[in-house]
Chain A
Amino acid sequence: MTQNVDEIFERICTLLKPFNKKDIAIGKDTAFSIDLELDSLTVMDMLSEIEDEFDITIPLNMLPDLETVGQFTDAVHKLLSE
């Protein structure tokens, strides 16, 4: 079943809750690094949670282009549609 982008975004936001230490409002422009202040190891913790939830693997070459929650959502959507 293919999901639409908004549903994926909602699920990602739920999964991000434990990583949102400062409890900021998460939008598609929220950046993992500056806004959520996730260090490179915590990003990996988060990544594995999200990959398990959607049963996908984000390929290594996509990582350098993922700065924001919105970009991440699009990447997940793309992988699910393939």
Chain B
Amino acid sequence: MLEPIATKDPTLPRRLADFSTLLEAIEYAAKGTRGLNFYSPRGELETSITFAEIKEKAQEIGRRFIHFGIEKGSRVALIAETSDEFVCYFIGCQYAGLLPVPLPLPTSFGGREGYTSQLNQQMKSCGASVAVSASYMLPLLDEATSGLKKMKFVGTSTTFEAQASLKEIKSITLPEAIPEDLAYLQYSSGSTRFPHGVAVTHKSLMANCVGIGGEGMMLNDDDRAVSWLPFYHDMGLVGTLLSPIANQVTTDYLATEAFARRPLQWLRLISKNRGTLAYSPTFGYDICTRRASPTKIADLDLSSWRVAGIGGDMIRADVLTNFLDTFADVGFRATTFVPSYGLAECTLAVSFARLDTGFEIDLVHEKVLSGEEKCLKKFKVNGSGANYRSVVNCGIPISEYELEIRDEDNNDLGEYQIGRVCVRGASVMAGYFQDPEATKSCLSEDGWLDTGDIGYMKEGSLYIIGRIKDLIIINGKNHWPQDIEWAVEQLDDLRSGDTAAVSIPGDQDEEIPAILVQCRTRDEAERAKMEHRIKDTVHSMLGISPVVALIPPRSLPRTSSGKLSRVKARKQYLEGNLVL
């Protein structure tokens, strides 16, 4: 029977990502015995691969790319299955000096066209020359790559590797990488219709892995990560694949789709393999709690879990409390929670809560959260009553960063003031790939990144209260309101500028999409039909039915330059001032 790769490696001292490139990192990890384990949906070990084996296979793939004639710097789209093959191809690109671009898998029922057109847009945006997927995904990949003229190869690894024999590629020398070279492109942020690929250099990646392994998690010899996060998302790719390579951490994986169906399998793996590090957006903790029952979890032992990281969406204190209430009996400790903050534009991590303290909340007045009041001190922090909401402490920025909370005129506001979260440091992206305009809109010439999030600092810790970018995050996935509005406005009887897509709080403070639509007809049957069509359109994009509000023509608020103001629209809607 297959045995999982062990947690400890007495043969190799741990180095916390003090490497100049990802290649140097994998070369060092390959000297030891650690590696990655891939589990089936039912929790059986399917594949184990050591870092040494990854290096070996990746070098072969690198030579194959060069032999095939793929030029240095070309983009290689990889449908990011949770598999050893994805890992070897990702690293293989590094050996050939190519930029891997991890692309998403389908996540839910329906929406074939939306899925393939998203892949198409992303591959078009980066000008990919190669696209590789597992064989079962090939029909979808073929559809997604049709019309892409720059493609030199579309197919499975088997087909690609049949292009040349090992003997033919033996003598090919692999290029060196320097820290300033780009390492990969990340599409987890950005609109699907107008995608921006975050361009990450080796230098940024290594700097971030230093912060994650060192200050963030303070890795020790007993650490082992267990993850279900997808490799096409920054938290999955950097947090649970590249950081484990750069910090030599044995990691166990459960495919994302397997987690979505049987979330408790994640906890079972932690329990069985004595996992210590496991990350998830808030909703992952939520679905574990929802699926748990005393009999189902009785045999778990979560006492080994040391860092239960939370990030990737707005952290909700009630979900964490429910998780704790459910799993405390099987050894989960409150102090294990480590709220954190990050974004793809910073490679991944920006801040981590202090370890072994658990999550801390501020109760903040609604007037502060809605942006009416800019200074926290005018209201009692941690006051009580219906007008207060909890905001989770996202921790202390890792020391590579300078962080400022700024007002509209870029003044640094200091503590207790609400403003835009801006950061500068080695892991801030080089820019959006081949998109100077989008880069300029968030990254200043002197290296300051406007994260698009709003928040405040208190006693050195960062608290995030919202987003300027109007992003709508459903079950951990970012959606750009522009994309949703565009799709809705394609429906008959609607015009450009008729809609506003905003996020509103649901019963449990979760995010719910609300589509505000200027509707000209007063005919009830027509209105009902329109509402149905809008719900249908939005559901196929977000996987959730939105609230639809049909409002009078010309009632959506605009800014002085005539642009839609989603912030105002949202506020007016929530106050009940927008309905017919």
Q: Contact residues of A with B, CB < 8 Å? A: 31-34, 37, 39-41, 43-45, 47-48, 51, 57, 59-61, 63-67, 72
Contact = CB atoms under 8 A, between A and B. Distances in A.
Contacts of B540: 33
A40 B140 contact: no
Contact of B536 (A33, A47, A61): A33
Interface in B271-295: 283, 287, 291
Contacts of A47: 109, 261
A43 B109 contact: yes
B289 to A, nearest CB: 12
Contacts of A44: 108, 260-261
Given A60-B257, A61-B140, A32 B106 contact: no
Contact of A41 (B111, B260, B536): B260
A33 B110 contact: yes
28 contacts: A33-B109, A33-B539, A33-B540, A33-B543, A33-B545, A34-B545, A39-B475, A39-B545, A40-B107, A40-B475, A40-B543, A41-B475, A43-B108, A43-B109, A43-B543, A45-B291, A47-B109, A47-B261, A48-B261, A48-B262, A51-B261, A57-B41, A60-B137, A63-B109, A64-B112, A64-B115, A64-B140, A65-B112
B106 A59 contact: no
A3 B434 CA distance: 54
Best-surrounded residue of B106, B110, B262, B543 (most CB of chain A within 10 A): B110
Nearest to B532: A34
Interface string B137-148: 101100000000
Given A39-B474, A60-B136, 11 more contacts: A34-B535, A34-B536, A39-B543, A40-B108, A40-B543, A41-B287, A63-B106, A63-B108, A64-B109, A64-B112, A66-B109
A64 B261 contact: no
B105 interface: yes
Contacts of A61: 106, 136-137, 139-140
A23 to B, nearest CB: 16
Q: Majority SS of interface residues in chain B?
A: helix
B166 interface: no
Contacts of A72: 109
A32 B261 CA distance: 16
Interface string B190-219: 000000000000000000000000000000
B543 to A, nearest CB: 3
Q: Majority SS of interface residues in chain A?
A: helix
Nearest to B540: A33
Contacts of B116: 64
A60 to B, nearest CB: 5
Best-surrounded residue of B109, B136, B532, B536 (most CB of chain A within 10 A): B109
Contacts, number: 80
Contacts of B262: 48
Interface of B: 41, 105-112, 115-116, 136-137, 139-140, 257, 260-262, 283, 287, 291, 474-475, 532, 535-536, 539-540, 542-545
Contacts of A41: 260, 283, 287, 475
Contacts of B137: 60-61
B527 to A, nearest CB: 17
What are the 5 closest A-B residue pairs judged by CB atoms, nearest first? A40-B543, A64-B112, A48-B261, A39-B544, A67-B110
A7 B292 CA distance: 31
B106 A64 contact: yes
A60 B261 CA distance: 12
Contacts of B535: 34, 37
Nearest to A49: B261
A66 B475 CA distance: 20
Contacts of B542: 40
A57 B40 CA distance: 11
Contact of A67 (B109, B140, B260, B291): B109
Contacts of B139: 61
A41 B474 CA distance: 10
B277 to A, nearest CB: 24
A44 B536 CA distance: 19
A66 to B, nearest CB: 5
Contacts of A43: 108-109, 543
A44 B262 CA distance: 9
Contacts of A51: 261
Best-surrounded residue of B139, B260, B261, B542 (most CB of chain A within 10 A): B261
Contacts of B287: 41
A32 B406 CA distance: 45
A34 B539 CA distance: 7
A40 B261 contact: no
A64 B543 contact: no
Contacts of B41: 57
Best-surrounded residue of B108, B287, B545 (most CB of chain A within 10 A): B108
A64 B111 contact: yes
Nearest to A57: B41
B110 A60 contact: no
Contacts of A67: 109-110
A67 B108 CA distance: 10
A64 B110 contact: yes
B311 to A, nearest CB: 19
A43 B544 CA distance: 10
A33 to B, nearest CB: 4
A32 B545 contact: no
A66 B115 CA distance: 13
A65 B41 CA distance: 22
Contacts of B474: 39-40
